[in-house]
Amino acid sequence: MTATNTDAVLLLRLAGPLQSWGETSRFNRRETRPEPTKSGVIGLLAAALGLERDADLTPLTSLTMGVRTDQPGTLLRDFHTASDHRGIPLKQSGVNAKGLQKPTGPAKYTHVTQRYYLQDAVFLVALAGGVDVIDVLAAAVRRPAYPLALGRRSCPPTQPILLGTEREAVLDTLAQQPWQASDTGRAQYLRGTKPAFVDLPITVDDNDGTDTRHDVPTSFGLHDRGFRERRVRHSTVRIPTGIPDPQLDPDSGTPVGHDPFSLLGW
């Protein structure tokens, strides 16, 4: 599915103190991508709809998704150690024939993990599909069946999540929405400058894209969890910052004439 022809677009603002969008996490290391994954966003929508883990995800995975990074945030590493307070060896994640966890061998008394999060990030997510589907999703996000999370259950979102629905294509929608960064994020991004526009990166589903993501869920089931790839393309969109452009007339928006001799007083 391309990101050009669509009936309706759902707009979500994903922001919070912490977010974590894992794609390639392995064993004791839980990574996060710098932007929301499709599996994470679909998981959020599935929670809003109240779907069970073994539900058919096709109506959600068929949506075209685009992500705009309005505030990239910073990376946080959370260092964990876990042990049994009774002083006994930890169990493995695997189970025996009786369904009981196997003991570690050799005995392991401390488990070390590293988990990564994005701090104070803000993303604009656009999901395109049929009008009926988008309307149902908008209603579900407005009144979710289960608590919503930004990748992990420990990452609740701030409000508002739902920005509304549009009838434009995904790229047009991402290019027209106002900058969603916080005041602090704007100050850090602009670094004392006063540009009239800011260029924001976007990642959009595209069958002809030059990059891939292995984050489309085929099932969220406990025993048959799986994912497949999608193709994406990367670009940027130019968004107004709300700061007047000194090169443009504030009333007409036309370029202001420049006299190179004016500085000399001639």
Render pLDDT for 134-150 as a digit per residue (tens, 0 to 9). Answer: 999 999 999 999 999 99
Give me the pLDDT at residue 257, please.
60
Q: Which two tokens stand for residue 1?
A: 């599915």
pLDDT band at 26 (very low <50, low <70, confident <90, very high): low
Q: Are 216 and 230 in contact (CB under 8 A)?
A: yes
pLDDT in tens, 197-252: 999 999 999 999 999 999 999 999 877 889 999 999 999 999 999 887 666 665 55
Q: Are 126 and 164 in contact (CB under 8 A)?
A: no
CA dihedral for 138, 143, 149, 153, sign (positive or negative)? negative
The whole-number average pLDDT for the span 110-137 is 94
Amino acid at 122: V
Which residue in the block uniquely carries the two structure tokens 């994005």?
A: 118
Give me the pLDDT at residue 221, please.
85
Which residue in the block uniquely carries the two structure tokens 């999703």?
A: 137
Q: Is 112 a residue whose pLDDT tops 90?
A: no
Indicate the range of 32-36, 99-103, 124-128 predicted with least confidence: 99-103
Closest CA to 41 of 118, 155, 125: 125
Q: Are 80 and 71 in contact (CB under 8 A)?
A: no
Furthest C-alpha separation in the chain = 94
Three-state SS for 60?
A: helix
Amino acid at 21: W
Q: Which CATH class is domain 8-82+109-264?
A: alpha beta
Q: Are 8 and 135 in contact (CB under 8 A)?
A: yes
Residues paired with residue 31 on neighbouring β-strands, in sequence order:
none
- In the chain, which ranges are E strands? 8-19, 29-30, 64-71, 74-82, 91-95, 101-103, 111-129, 162-166, 197-205, 211-219, 226-240
DSSP 1: -
Three-state SS for 202?
A: strand
Chain mean pLDDT for the chain = 88
